[in-house]
């Protein structure tokens, strides 16, 4: 058997309290496809950082075979030291690496390479970092949440691209379908230890349950043995004789092991607080249309949602999924057509960016307001500490500011607050972001058992298959179609998965060399209109100004004393920030469409 390319042995790391890693091991061989799985906080990203050499463990050994190249994708890459995204990607190149590959990957991930790293979004930075680590085709690729900020067409393209690489891949992801399609071995981080299954993620959950059942059986046997030995000490005369001190010592050892035993982490307990019965007809949209400028977001769409429906909305980034969600819930008026909502609807919404969480408040204050220690949930008044435990928060975290919570913890807090509110209609915009696999299981079960209807936006194919009774899918040019069943059912009916928008689809297709063609007569060439030329020239300055305005507004919002000092100014700045972000997204999409059109005309 060939020697491993990378070995982590007896890795130990802690930041106070129970250690995050306590003797964890990882052996990475050539051409392997390994997924790291475990609860939020189990140490997946930490172990990946140690494997990459960017974090030093408290103890243990890291060995990398000589000459082996390693590339690591962090969750929050820092590009500020580079002039452009292309410069950031090319900085990783060696003498014999092909710079064309960097441009190719940036293009496939929706970037041009000319972006200024100081002004791009977190999602764009992640995509640039993904292009960087893939471009050199290293011996080992360490990927921490590679699908974050990618839409469905890009995720499926990434799966294909990674499948064709010769690199060994070690990945962390909450996307079940992505892990099932790519992994060939699974390493489970649990209570500081790493357990390996030499099979892909698709077989992991059944194996994990068997391991936990066996562990519980062994623990039960130890408890029974301790009980027998305690009876012997209590009632057996011989137990006090000197020659039986060893047996007494063994009992003390068993007791110590039981005290130190770290049981499996609990499961979140999600129960939604429901109000009265939902009306039979929940939403009726008749020939609704919505456009921004010349671009149609929704065109002539008719749809009915009934009690008990769980409807998923799917499509590429920029298709208008959140706009359609807002139209169907009455939060946004259509340009044409009508939307009728059922009577007595109590709607609870979870937004995709956790923006409605006030980061200045503590976890406790987020659930109770700013006073008291009781939470009304499922019609019962409960102490906030007990309610937090249902969502896997420790008592110590009750007074923790929201600002220091991880993405997964913020997701659980949003769910805890939303599910405590009385509702008979749940509206969820990317509810699965940053949630671990076990919490996703509980969310799926809760939604399946929820009495009211559910309308959700998600890029998680497995989650949609498990939850949705129907999906609304983006086709193109403002057209949306309803398909019965989940994502896989939609693919079977449609004949293909979600495709990129028309002006982005080429970026996700393999490059093809075109046969030389005779030049068309100049009279037949398409030309940019005066309005299009003017927009192409002025949009970059407008985009730069919007980004500057957003940065200035964000700096004001980051001031912890802003709200208490000027509540009205805080509300005005918050509204301006949201409007500028929306305007920026529209301007960037318009510029991209015009730039692609200009290139097509130039190539004629």
Per-residue pLDDT reduced to its tens digit, 489-535: 999 998 888 776 544 444 444 443 333 333 333 334 456 676 777 77
Predicted pLDDT at 537? 79
Per-residue model confidence (pLDDT) at position 541: 82
Q: In angstroms, how far is CA 186 from the centroid of its own chain?
A: 20
Residue 105: pLDDT band with limits 50, 70, 90: very high
> In whole angstroms, how far apart are CA 8 and each of 21, 25, 109, 193, 226?
12, 5, 32, 12, 36
Query: Mean per-residue pLDDT for 532-550?
Result: 80
Mean pLDDT for the stretch of residues 442-470? 89
- The pLDDT, as a whole number, for residue 521 is 37
Residue 237 has pLDDT above 50, yes or no: no
Q: From residue 391, give the alpha-carbon distance in Å to each of 397, 425, 528.
A: 12, 21, 56
Q: What is the pLDDT of residue 513?
A: 36
**pLDDT given for residue 99 in this prediction:** 77
pLDDT (0 to 100) of residue 297? 92
pLDDT exceeds cutoff 90 at 76: no
Which carries the bigger pLDDT value, residue 461 or residue 372?
Answer: 461
Give residue 186's pLDDT band: very low, low, confident or very high (50, 70, 90). very high
Distance CA 387, CA 384 (A): 5
Superfamily of domain 523-602 in CATH is Valyl-tRNA synthetase, C-terminal domain (1.10.287.380)
What is the domain class of 281-502 according to CATH? alpha beta
Extract the tokens encoding 558.
Answer: 């980051």
Residue appearing with tokens 């949201």 = 578
Cβ neighbours, 10 Å, residue 515: 5
pLDDT above 50 for 117: yes
Identify the pLDDT of residue 337.
Answer: 96
Instruction: Give the Cβ contact number of residue 353 at 10 Å.
Output: 11
Strand 425-429 relative to strand 454-457, pairing: parallel
Strand 70-73 and strand 140-144: the pairing is: parallel
Q: In angstroms, rounded to a whole number, what is the distance separating the alpha carbons of residues 248 and 87?
A: 69
Q: What is the model's pLDDT at position 132?
A: 95
Which pLDDT score, from 0 to 100, does residue 437 have? 79
**pLDDT for position 361:** 87
Beta strands in 65-123 (DSSP E): 70-73
**The pLDDT of residue 239 is above 50:** no
CATH number 3.40.50.300 is the correct assignment for the domain at 6-206: yes
Give the pLDDT confidence of 306-348 residue by residue, as tens digits. 988 999 999 988 888 989 999 999 989 999 999 999 988 888 8
Q: What number of helices (H) and strands (E) belong to the chain?
A: 19, 20
User: Which residue ranges make up each domain of the chain?
Assistant: 6-206, 207-260, 281-502, 523-602
Average pLDDT, the chain: 81
- pLDDT score of 422: 82
- Considering 50-54, 123-127, 406-410, 501-505, the range whose residues carry the highest mean pLDDT is 50-54
Picking from 529, 545, 550, the residue whose alpha carbon sits closest to that of residue 597 is 529
Average the pLDDT over each of 183-187, 206-210, 271-275, 526-530 and give the range with the smallest value.
Answer: 271-275
What pLDDT was estimated at residue 254?
55
Which of 46, 69, 76, 185 is closest to 135 using CA atoms? 69
Could you say which DSSP state residue 160 is in?
H
Q: What does the alpha-carbon distance between residue 282 and residue 339 come to, in Å, rounded to a whole number?
A: 10
Give, rounded to a whole angstrom, the gap between the first and last alpha carbons of the chain. 56
The answer on pLDDT for 197 being more than 50 is: yes
pLDDT at position 517: 38
Radius of gyration (C-alpha) of the chain in whole angstroms: 28
Pairing state of beta strands 281-292 and 336-341? antiparallel
CB within 8 A of 110, min separation 6: which ones?
A: 124, 127, 154, 317, 504, 507
397-443 pLDDT per residue, tens: 888 888 877 767 777 888 888 778 888 899 988 888 777 777 788 78
The 10 Å Cβ neighbour count of residue 450 is 22
What average pLDDT does range 70-83 have in this prediction? 92
Percent of the chain with pLDDT over 70: 79
Q: What is the DSSP letter of 439?
A: H
Give the pLDDT confidence score for residue 505 in this predicted structure: 46
Overall residue count recorded for the chain in this entry: 604
Range picked from 127-141, 144-158, 201-215, 575-589 for highest mean pLDDT: 127-141
Q: What is the pLDDT of residues 13-32, one digit of tens each?
A: 986 656 889 999 999 999 99
Pairing of strands 380-383, 374-377: antiparallel
* b/e 315-349 (16+ beta carbons within 10 angstroms → b): bbbbbbbbbbbbbbbeebebeebebebbeebbbbb
**Higher-pLDDT residue of 377, 7:** 7
CATH topology identical between 6-206 and 523-602 = no
Enter the pTM of the model.
0.70
């Amino acid at each position: 058997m060939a020697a491993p390319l990378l070995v982590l042995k007896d890795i130990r790391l802690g930041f106070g309290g129970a250690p995050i890693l306590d003797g964890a091991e990882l052996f990475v061989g050539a051409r392997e496809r390994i997924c790291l799985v475990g609860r939020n906080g189990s140490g997946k990203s930490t172990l990946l950082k140690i494997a990459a050499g960017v974090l030093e463990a408290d103890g243990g050994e890291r060995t990398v075979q000589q000459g082996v190249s390693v590339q690591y994708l962090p969750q929050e890459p820092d590009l500020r030291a580079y002039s452009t995204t292309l410069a950031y990607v090319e900085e990783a190149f060696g003498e014999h690496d092909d710079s064309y590959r960097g441009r190719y990957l940036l293009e496939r991930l929706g970037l041009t390479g000319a972006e200024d790293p100081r002004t791009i979004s977190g999602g764009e930075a992640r995509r640039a970092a993904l292009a960087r680590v893939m471009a050199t085709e290293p011996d080992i690729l360490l990927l921490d949440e590679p699908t974050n900020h990618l839409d469905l067409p890009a995720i499926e393209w990434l799966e294909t691209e990674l499948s064709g690489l010769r690199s060994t891949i070690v990945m962390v992801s909450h996307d079940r379908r992505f892990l099932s399609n790519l992994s060939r071995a699974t390493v489970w981080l649990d209570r500081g230890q790493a357990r390996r299954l030499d099979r892909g993620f698709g077989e992991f959950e059944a194996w994990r349950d068997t391991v936990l059942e066996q562990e519980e059986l062994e623990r039960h046997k130890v408890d029974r043995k301790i009980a027998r030995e305690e009876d012997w000490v209590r009632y057996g005369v011989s137990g006090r004789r000197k020659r039986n001190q060893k047996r007494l010592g063994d009992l003390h050892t068993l007791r110590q092991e039981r005290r130190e035993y770290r049981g499996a982490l609990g499961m979140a307990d999600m129960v939604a607080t429901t109000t009265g019965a939902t009306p039979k007809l929940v939403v009726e949209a008749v020939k609704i249309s919505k456009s921004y400028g010349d671009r149609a977001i929704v065109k002539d769409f008719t749809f009915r949602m009934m009690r008990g429906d769980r409807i998923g909305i799917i499509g590429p980034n920029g298709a208008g999924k959140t706009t359609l969600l807002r139209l169907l819930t009455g939060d946004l008026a259509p340009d044409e057509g009508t939307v009728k909502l059922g009577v007595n609807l109590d709607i609870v919404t979870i937004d995709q960016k956790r923006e409605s969480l006030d980061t200045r408040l503590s976890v406790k204050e987020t659930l109770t307001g700013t006073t008291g220690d009781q939470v009304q949930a499922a019609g019962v008044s409960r102490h906030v500490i007990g309610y937090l435990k249902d969502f896997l928060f420790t008592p110590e975290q009750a007074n923790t500011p929201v600002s220091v919570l991880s993405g997964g913890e913020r997701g659980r807090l949003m769910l805890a607050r939303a599910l405590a509110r009385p509702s008979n209609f749940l509206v969820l915009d990317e509810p699965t972001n940053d949630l671990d696999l076990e919490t996703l299981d509980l969310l799926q079960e809760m939604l399946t058992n929820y009495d009211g209807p559910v309308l959700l936006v998600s890029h998680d194919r497995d989650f949609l298959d498990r939850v949705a009774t129907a999906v609304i899918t983006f086709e193109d040019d403002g057209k949306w179609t309803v398909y019965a069943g989940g994502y896989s059912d939609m693919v079977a009916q449609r004949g293909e998965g979600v495709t990129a928008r028309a002006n982005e689809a080429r970026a996700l297709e393999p490059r093809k060399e075109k046969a030389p063609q005779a030049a068309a007569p100049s009279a037949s060439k398409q030309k940019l209109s005066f309005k299009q030329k003017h927009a192409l020239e002025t949009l970059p300055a407008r985009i730069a100004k919007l980004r500057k305005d957003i940065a200035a507004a964000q700096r004001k919002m980051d001031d912890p004393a802003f709200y208490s000092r000027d509540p009205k100014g805080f509300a005005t700045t918050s509204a301006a920030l949201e409007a500028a972000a929306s305007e920026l997204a529209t301007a960037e999409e318009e510029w991209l469409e015009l730039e692609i059109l200009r290139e097509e005309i130039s190539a004629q």
